Structure 1
Amino acid sequence: MNPLLLRTALVTGLVIGALNIVFSGLQFGFDRLPVWFWLSQLLLIPAMILPIRFFPQAAVTREFLRRAGLYALGWAVPYAIYKFAADALSPSFSPAASLTSYVLMVTVFALLFAAIRRPQR
């Protein structure tokens, strides 16, 4: 794997994990975050490394829906860890609502990235 791509994946995974800890800590209290939540944030590192190859591939794909699909595949696992770990902390956690929100946001991310990151003609 390209060293720059690997470094980008590592830094992105660490930043997303740190943001999830900060946002969840501010919402629920840092002292109330369970051990499983802290450990789940470590999953963001491999979750960014494994699908990172989809992003450069998507950046050169000309077809909009195919490009959006590649971006969706790239964001699916890291965002799932981010989303479900934070949602599961809430006493009113609803798996169906969380899953619906997850699918909607991955779709929005994919379409937005596909629209913004078009390949050069």
Structure 2
Amino acid sequence: MNALLLRTALITGLVIAALNIVFSGLQFGFERLPLWFWLSQLLLIPAMLLPIRFFPQAAMTREFPRRAGLYALGWAVPYAIYKFAADALNPAFNPAASLTSYLLMVTVFALLFAAIRRPQP
């Protein structure tokens, strides 16, 4: 993995973790965020490092379904950590609703990125 891609993955993982902490802290109170939540945010760094190679590959893929699939693979793990860690803080946590929302948003991300980031002819 080249240095630019590695730096991009690290910065993206840290930004997503920071946003999750800020949004969850504002919603539930920073003092009420449990230790497991803070530690789970550290998982976003390797979660971005492993699938980051899908994004450049997807940007070069001509077929829309395959390109969307690669973007979905790239966003699946980081968004799962972001989504489920924040959802689990809610006392009325519903795993089925959380999973449905997760699948819907990964699909939306994949289709949106595939439509916007198509290769130039």
What's the TM-score bracket when you normalise by the shorter of the two chains? over 0.9
Question: C-alpha separation between the residues in 2 aligned to 1:56 and 1:15?
Answer: 20
What letter corresponds to residue 74 of structure 1 in structure 2?
A: G
The offset of 1:113, in angstroms, is 0.1
What SS is found at the alignment partner of 1:101? helix
Is 1:42 aligned to 2:42, yes or no? yes
What letter corresponds to residue 112 of structure 1 in structure 2?
A: L
Counterpart position of 1:73: 73
What is the TM-score normalised by the length of structure 2?
Answer: 1.00
What is the TM-score normalised by the length of structure 1?
Answer: 1.00
User: 1:80-119: CA deviations, max 9, x gaps?
Assistant: 0000000000000000000000000000000000000000
What letter corresponds to residue 116 of structure 1 in structure 2?
A: I
Question: C-alpha separation between the residues in 2 aligned to 1:2 and 1:80?
Answer: 25
Q: Which runs of 5+ in 1 are unaligned?
A: none
The offset of 1:40, in angstroms, is 0.1
Moved over 2 A (4+): none
User: 1:28-60: CA deviations, max 9, x gaps?
Assistant: 000000000000000000000000000000000
Aligned-residue Cα RMSD (Å) equals 0.2
